[in-house]
Amino acid sequence: MKSPLIKTVFFTEILKGLSLTFRTLFRPAVTRRYPKVKPVVAAGFRGLHALSKDDEGKLKCVGCGLCGAYCPSQCIHIYTNEGDDNKKIVERYEIDILRCIFCGFCVEACPFGAISLSEHYEYSNYSRAEFYMTKEKLLENWDRYFAGEKGKRYYREFWRPLSADMHGHEGQAMFSKIPDAIRSGGKK
């Protein structure tokens, strides 16, 4: 079977190819039947956004605007106002999901771990308006995907802000209003 003439006459190469395809016929397919069999999403997957709530169920976001400033596709819009007791309140927090590239920079930028990305990725819809996330919808997402222990665990493991580890010396100017619980990342 070495001579090229014999190879040509008996089609050894074609026969090799045929035997390969025939053996492949009996190997299991690699197809994932997606809508029926969902893939396992790794923890920390960057999916739909959610606005975190603290232990009392209130918005963690302080309206500093770092996420919006960092956002490469500029799809985060924050509107703040002065509240009754002269505190800064976040009036509107909106994300245009259709412009988002899911880079996760907003999560990294946030000093409070107030914005997070959930593992939910199936949210196709019929109208563009559905993809414009308001503060209420983002808070709802939190209840849906991060309620309870899961949110705390994800805070510890995936979007714990660097500022949480910062401990200044006595008298140093810091984000003085940050409660110890947040600063230590709920570790205690």
* Residue pair 52/90 in contact by the 8 Å Cβ criterion: no
CB 137 within 8 A of CB 95: no
Minimal distance in Å, beta carbon 35 to another protein?
Answer: 10
How deeply is 188 buried, as exposed, middle or buried, from its count of CB atoms within 10 A (0-12, 13-18, 19+)?
exposed
Nearer to another protein, 31 or 86 (CB): 31
Minimum CB distance to another protein, residue 19 (Å): 9
Instruction: Closer to another protein by CB, 36 or 177: give it.
Output: 36
Q: Are 120 and 47 in contact (CB under 8 A)?
A: yes
Widest distance between CA atoms in the chain: 95
Q: Say if residues 46 and 104 touch (Cβ distance below 8 Å).
A: yes
Least distance from another protein to the Cβ atom of residue 40, Å:
20
| Shortest Å, Cβ 66 to another protein | 47
In the bound state with another protein, the residue whose beta carbon lies nearer, of 24 and 124, is: 24
Give me the residues that bind another protein (CB under 8 A), please. Answer: 14, 17-18, 20-22, 24-31, 33
Nearer to another protein, 14 or 101 (CB): 14
- The rounded distance, in Å, linking the Cα atoms of 56 and 143 is 13
